[in-house]
Amino acid sequence: MSRADAMVRLAGAFARHELRRRLRRLPRGGGRRLLEMYAADNLRPLTAAERELLPAASACINCGLCALVAARVSGLRPADLAAAYLRDYPRLPAAASDLVGDSPSGLAEAAAACPVGVPLGGVLVMIRRLATA
Amino acid sequence: MIVIGGGVTGAGVARDLALRGVSVLLLEKNDWGAGTSGSSTWMIHGGLRYLEYDWQTTRLSCEDAGHIVEIARHLVHRVLFLIPVLPDDPHGIEQIETVMEVYDRYQPLKHAHPHLRLNAEELLHVEPGLARDLVGGVTVEEWGVDPHRLTWANVLDAVEHGARALNHARVTSLVRDGAQVIGARYARDGTEVEARARVVINAAGPWSPEVAAMAGQEVRLRPAKGIHLVYDRRLSNFVISTEAVDGRDILLVPHGPITVLGTTDDDFFGDLDDVEVTADEVDYLLQAVARVFPAIQRLRPVRATTGVRPTLYEWRPNEDRLSRRHELFEHPHAPGLLTITGGKLSMYRLMAEETADAACRRLGVQARSQTKQARLPGSESEAPAAGELAREHRVTALAATNVLRRHGCRAGAVLEDPRHGRLACRCEHLPEADLAHAARHEQARSLADAFRRVGLAAGPCAGAACIDRAAQVIGRELGWSASQQVEAAREFLLGAWLGRAPLLERRGWAQEEMAYAARRGYAS
């Protein structure tokens, strides 16, 4: 098939598309179907607040200073939340068992001690929401 | 036979031949997948762009992507593109959706879903970081893959079927008897070795003209440089597709715990072993993505990667319009030599099959390729659940998911070593057992090899916090002395600088301070 043939076939496809659109035969409501179709892959949206939080969370360099201030979260260092757990949301439901238990005291103080300003309390809330299957 | 080049194509050729029962020696001058394969956009795609040129190529590409998805189940994941349309885009949303409707006919070949159309409100709900002035958008689904693991899985399967595979073995010359190519000489660990073969296959990617020239043969390429920026985390659950200032497609692609932004595509005339990233290239990519995803300007890239594509030679078309087709050179004036070059990651299996067919014809081997059906190591059976693996081997569930992603159904065997339950790299949640396994069973001979094999130091601290301990773990497996361990760590941190340097004006100083502090201890 030459490029000319390919373009002619695409033009035909466009004409059919336009006809179906004018007859209102094209499926819509893609947003809802997207969430259903990809739920099994855990491909879910971030909320606007989480999107806003992410740049500050991604500043973490895993220096470990926060571990000197805050208690561990179910055995994890506070830095692990931003440096490891908040990196791959679709796999968080499989790792939810690592995150059970009460929120530890001292996360606000640890965030204040962080040299790059990672909001550790907000990170824990975000991770726990994303870990909920 | 000898196969030269340990990218995904060379590894695929070696595997295909080994599965047919042919005796194979695979030689790679650096590490498996360290060249063009590793610097790709990490995708097995079906060739949407070929719909403008040749629908048959799209069908073939989707068909072969489907085979790869079936044989490498534990290595692939769905990537869903959001293609936002802005009011001033040259192609309206109806034209774009038409192309997706055509592409939907081929999507079942690679086990992918059809496209969806979203209005502006739906798009902003799915990805709140998008620009506000959208017309709407469409989705398209492809498959993502870690090219380093895909390459290694092919090498491993070749070895398990009798091949011999050597990384860090640079071919220095071809052995010839008159015009006939009868073997290769290679240097490894300071010694030169001569190996004989009835057929020598040149699968050296952008270096293939150099290898062909050793037999007096010409292979003409038009090498194209491509860079990617790498972020240390998933920035979105969806691929964001946009256009650069010159109309080229640019992608922001999440892959597991990282995001890859790329790529550039420029003719390259320099030294293939010394390809640098420039600040202009970084700005070009960031400008393109900021148009539809403004948040990118506040996020921190951790490194840049660069590679050279072995594009086949054509005069006139600009780089982006060059065909990604592949070609097998039979070299009638140098019997015994075959060259396979061009192509793309998504077509590696088909390229390998065609090359192995040609080589087997020369030897009179009748066995046929099995690589459409034979699953790669780790995908042979169902993998255990992450929670079960974590409980059994006393590692965190996150670490267990990481090991499963790399090793599939073989993950349990990797974690069996009871001495290595602790984490070697906290950013990657990489168990020491996996790192030791890479050195013992996966030919990781340096810390940079371990970065490719198991993601060592790929996270936020870029190795500053973990590289000492990692050098000890690998050093113990490989018999390094204490000073060799220190030297290996120093070499890794300094080498990583080359990937970080072009990004330092972009929120990377804190990471750099950490790396500097770690490196200071190693200063001579």
> What length is written for chain B?
524
pLDDT of B394 > 80? The answer is yes
- In B, minimum Cα distance to A1 occurs at B54
Q: Which residues of A touch B398 (CB under 8 A)?
A: 84-85, 91, 95, 98
- In B, minimum Cα distance to A22 occurs at B94
CA distances from B16 to A25, B160, B327, B329 (A): 47, 12, 18, 18
Q: Which residues of A touch B506 (CB under 8 A)?
A: none
What is the distance in angstroms between the Cα of B444 and the nearest Cα belonging to chain A?
A: 23
pLDDT of B318 > 60? The answer is yes
- In A, minimum Cα distance to B511 occurs at A61
d(CA B470, CA B449): 12
pLDDT of B290 > 70? The answer is yes
pLDDT of A10 > 80? The answer is yes
CATH of B76-144+222-317, one of 3.30.465.10, 3.90.1150.200, 3.30.9.10, 3.30.70.20: 3.30.9.10
Q: Name which of B106, B116, B456 to mutate to probe chain A: the one with the most chain A Cβ atoms within 10 A of its Cβ.
A: B116
pLDDT in tens, A101-112: 777 778 888 899
Q: Which residues of B touch A88 (CB under 8 A)?
A: 233-234, 256-257
Tell the CATH superfamily of the B1-75+146-219+318-380 domain.
FAD/NAD(P)-binding domain (3.50.50.60)
What is the distance in angstroms between the Cα of A125 and the nearest Cα belonging to chain B?
A: 17
User: Nearest CA to B359 among B201, B129, B473?
Assistant: B201
Q: Which pLDDT belongs to residue B520?
A: 61
- In B, minimum Cα distance to A35 occurs at B126
Q: Which residues of B touch A58 (CB under 8 A)?
A: 231-233, 235, 299-300, 460
**B176 beta partners:** B181
pLDDT in tens, A49-100: 999 999 999 899 998 889 888 877 777 888 999 999 999 999 999 999 998 8
pLDDT of B441 > 90? The answer is yes
**E strands within B168-278?**
170-177, 180-188, 191-196, 200-202, 224-231, 239-243, 249-255, 258-262, 266-267
Q: Which residues of B touch A76 (CB under 8 A)?
A: 396
Torsion of CA B232, B237, B239, B245, to 10 degrees: -70
Q: Which pLDDT belongs to residue A124?
A: 92
pLDDT of B421 > 90? The answer is no
Find the CB nearest B99 among A10, A28, A91. Answer: A10
What is the distance in angstroms between the Cα of A8 and the nearest Cα belonging to chain B?
A: 10
Find the CB nearest A84 among B102, B426, B464. Answer: B426
pLDDT of A46 > 70? The answer is yes
Q: Tokens representing A68? A: 């000197």
Find the CB nearest B510 among A10, A38, A115. Answer: A115
Find the CB nearest B398 among A44, A47, A98. Answer: A98
User: Nearest CA to B409 among B430, B435, B425, B388?
Assistant: B388
End-to-end Cα distance, chain A: 47
User: Nearest CA to B154 among B351, B365, B376, B345?
Assistant: B376
pLDDT of B523 > 50? The answer is no
pLDDT in tens, B129-163: 999 899 999 999 999 999 999 999 999 999 999 99
- In B, minimum Cα distance to A131 occurs at B398
d(CA B211, CA B217): 9
Phi–psi pair at B176, nearest 5 degrees: -130, 150
Highest mean pLDDT among B173-182, B454-463, B492-501: B173-182
CA distances from B521 to B50, B216, B270, B448, B512 (A): 53, 49, 35, 20, 15
List the domain boundaries for chain B.
1-75+146-219+318-380, 76-144+222-317, 386-518
Question: Do residue B386 and residue A94 have CB atoms under 8 angstroms apart?
Answer: yes
Q: Tokens representing B347? A: 């077509």
Torsion of CA A13, A18, A19, A25, to 10 degrees: 100
Pair B51, B129: CB distance under 8 Å: no
Q: Which pLDDT belongs to residue B167?
A: 98
pLDDT of B364 > 90? The answer is yes
Show the CA angle centred on residue B127, arms to residues B126 and B130, nearest 5°: 140
Q: Which pLDDT belongs to residue B522?
A: 53
Q: What is the mean pLDDT of residues B391-409?
A: 95
Q: Which amino acid is at B253?
A: V
Q: What is the mean pLDDT of residues B5-24?
A: 98
Q: Which amino acid is at B302?
A: V
Q: Which residues of A touch B298 (CB under 8 A)?
A: 55
Find the CB nearest B80 among A10, A43, A89. Answer: A43
ipTM of this predicted complex?
A: 0.93
- In B, minimum Cα distance to A26 occurs at B117
DSSP calls for B341-399? EE--GGGHHHHHHHHHHHHHHHHT--PPP-TTTSPPTT-SSPPPPHHHHHHHHT--HHH
Question: Do residue A87 and residue B233 have CB atoms under 8 angstroms apart?
Answer: yes
What is the distance in angstroms between the Cα of A22 and the nearest Cα belonging to chain B?
A: 12
pLDDT in tens, B93-132: 999 999 999 999 999 999 999 999 999 999 999 999 999 8
Q: pLDDT tier at B174 (50, 70, 90 boundaries)?
A: very high
User: Nearest CA to A88 among B451, B236, B128, B38?
Assistant: B236
pLDDT in tens, B466-508: 999 999 999 999 999 999 999 999 999 888 877 888 887 777 7
Pairs of CB atoms within 8 A across A/B: 183
Find the CB nearest B53 among A3, A51, A59. Answer: A3
- In A, minimum Cα distance to B96 occurs at A14
Q: Which residues of B touch A37 (CB under 8 A)?
A: 113, 116
**% residues pLDDT > 90 (chain B):** 82
